């Protein structure tokens, strides 16, 4: 097998490894068989990913003696729904997989979240493997065990924590991503620098072109992002404390996604996070928590890589500030109605701000709203 970079997620008896490198789809059968032994599998994917990567994965699994049933769902954020969840569950049960078999999530964040949720509830919990095919999924959603679906009331409001047993991040598959999707994933890479790794953010400012081009810089950025997330997850698996820092930019971003009805033509998740991170830094400046120079620096870097940073960058009309605030009130970090945001004292100095006055948020949304 290839010399992939290995990152460990330390969760005691539920610890698992993340492997990062090229050709991991071709090696998947061998790696999975070595870990699980004699098993059968369901491969949950979407129509777009299936065109590029499903056949090589099925071939690899067959070569290792693993019988696998493909489950192909529509691509896009709207697949994170009750209807698609039921379809996936029915398909896995229809393939007569047993509790000791595995579910493989082959896709981006949508497929990873949905397949992991399905694995967590089928037969009261099946084992599953994450094989993320987008940059966003490789550095964020495939690690840490958060699974779930969206509802009309908000994003990721129904789900559970269900850790994977293995993550195989094939960096070569990122070559098939559109530039827009790669940029969207890069927003989550930048997030790790902005939370508590200012040196990493400075490295990104210098090396981001190499990450887009592929090669060593890409692998290094993905591995560092996974280490950052693994460290936080090991400390706070169920998000009762500082794991909430990983939501930098997400409170604003999730509200904007809900406001666009999860229309991926208008806004994909990473773009919402980019706008959300820029808003979080500007809001921190407004609250006299951080320098305007830091907010400008963050915005400049996101703009340099081609990401949106303003609410006005979202095409089409949006609900007014009051409605956006309603979406924010549905955020999972809200406690007893009090608003919680991830704010910052500067680059790499994020913190959890509780009891943020709704009046301040509304005033800021009015300033930021294109209407």
Residue-wise pLDDT for 48-86, tens only, equals: 999 999 999 999 999 999 999 999 999 999 999 999 999
**Two tokens, residue 183:** 């940029």
Determine whether domain 5-176 maps to CATH 3.40.50.1970.
yes
Residue extents of the structural domains in the chain? 5-176, 179-368
Q: Do the domains spanning 5-176 and 179-368 agree at the CATH topology level? A: no
Alpha-carbon torsion angle 156, 130, 42, 1, nearest 10:
170
Q: Are 262 and 78 in contact (CB under 8 A)?
A: yes
Backbone φ and ψ of 13, nearest 5°? -65, -20
- Cα within 13 Å of Cα(49), Cβ side: 30
In CATH terms, 179-368 corresponds, of 3.30.390.30, 1.20.1090.10, 3.20.20.70, 3.40.50.2300, to 1.20.1090.10
Q: Which long-range contacts (CB under 8 A, 24 or more apart) does 93-96 make?
A: 93/122, 95/40, 95/42, 95/69
Question: Tell me, what's the pLDDT at 276?
Answer: 98
pLDDT tens readout for residues 304-315: 999 999 999 999
Backbone angles phi, psi at 272, to 5 degrees: -60, -40
pTM across the whole model: 0.92
297 CB-near residues (< 8 Å, 6+ apart): 347
For residue 347, the cross-strand partners are: none
Lowest-pLDDT range of 49-58, 150-159, 270-279, 344-353? 150-159
Active site residues: 124, 146, 188, 229, 239, 243, 247, 250, 254, 269
> Mean pLDDT, to the nearest integer, of 128-144?
97
Percentage of the chain with pLDDT > 70?
Answer: 99
Mean pLDDT of the chain: 96
């Amino acid at each position: 097998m290839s010399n992939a970079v290995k990152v460990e997620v330390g969760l005691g008896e539920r610890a698992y490894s993340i492997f990062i490198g090229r050709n991991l789809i071709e090696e998947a059968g061998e790696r999975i068989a070595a870990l699980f032994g004699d098993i059968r599998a369901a491969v949950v994917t979407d129509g777009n990913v299936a065109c590029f990567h499903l056949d090589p994965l099925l071939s690899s699994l067959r070569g290792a003696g693993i019988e696998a049933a493909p489950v192909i769902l529509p691509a896009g954020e709207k697949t994170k729904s009750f209807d698609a969840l039921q379809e996936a569950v029915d398909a896995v049960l229809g393939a007569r997989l047993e509790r000791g078999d595995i579910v493989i999530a082959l896709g981006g964040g949508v497929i990873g979240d949905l397949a992991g949720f399905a694995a967590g509830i089928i037969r009261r919990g099946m084992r599953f493997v994450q094989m993320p095919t987008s940059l966003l999924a490789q550095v964020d959603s495939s690690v840490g065990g958060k699974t779930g679906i969206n509802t009309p009331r908000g994003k990721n409001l129904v789900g559970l924590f269900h850790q994977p047993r293995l993550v195989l991040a094939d960096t070569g598959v990122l070559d098939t991503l559109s530039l827009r999707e790669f940029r969207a994933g890069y927003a989550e890479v930048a997030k790790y620098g902005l939370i508590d790794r200012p040196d990493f953010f400075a490295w990104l400012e210098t090396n981001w072109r190499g990450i887009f081009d592929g090669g060593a810089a890409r692998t290094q950025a993905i591995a560092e992002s996974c280490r950052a997330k693994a460290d936080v997850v090991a400390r706070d698996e169920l998000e009762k404390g500082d794991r909430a820092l990983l939501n930098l930019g997400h409170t604003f971003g999730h509200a904007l996604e809900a406001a666009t009805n999860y229309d991926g033509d208008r806004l994909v998740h990473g773009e919402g996070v980019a706008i959300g991170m820029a808003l979080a830094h500007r809001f921190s400046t407004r609250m006299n928590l951080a320098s305007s120079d830091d907010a400008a620096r963050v915005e400049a870097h996101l703009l340099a890589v081609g990401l949106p940073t303003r609410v006005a960058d979202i095409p089409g009309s949006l609900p007014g500030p009051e409605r956006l605030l309603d979406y924010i009130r549905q955020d999972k970090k809200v406690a007893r109605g009090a608003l919680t945001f991830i704010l910052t004292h500067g680059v790499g100095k994020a913190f959890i701000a509780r009891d943020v006055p709704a009046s301040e948020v509304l005033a800021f949304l009015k300033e930021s709203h294109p209407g």
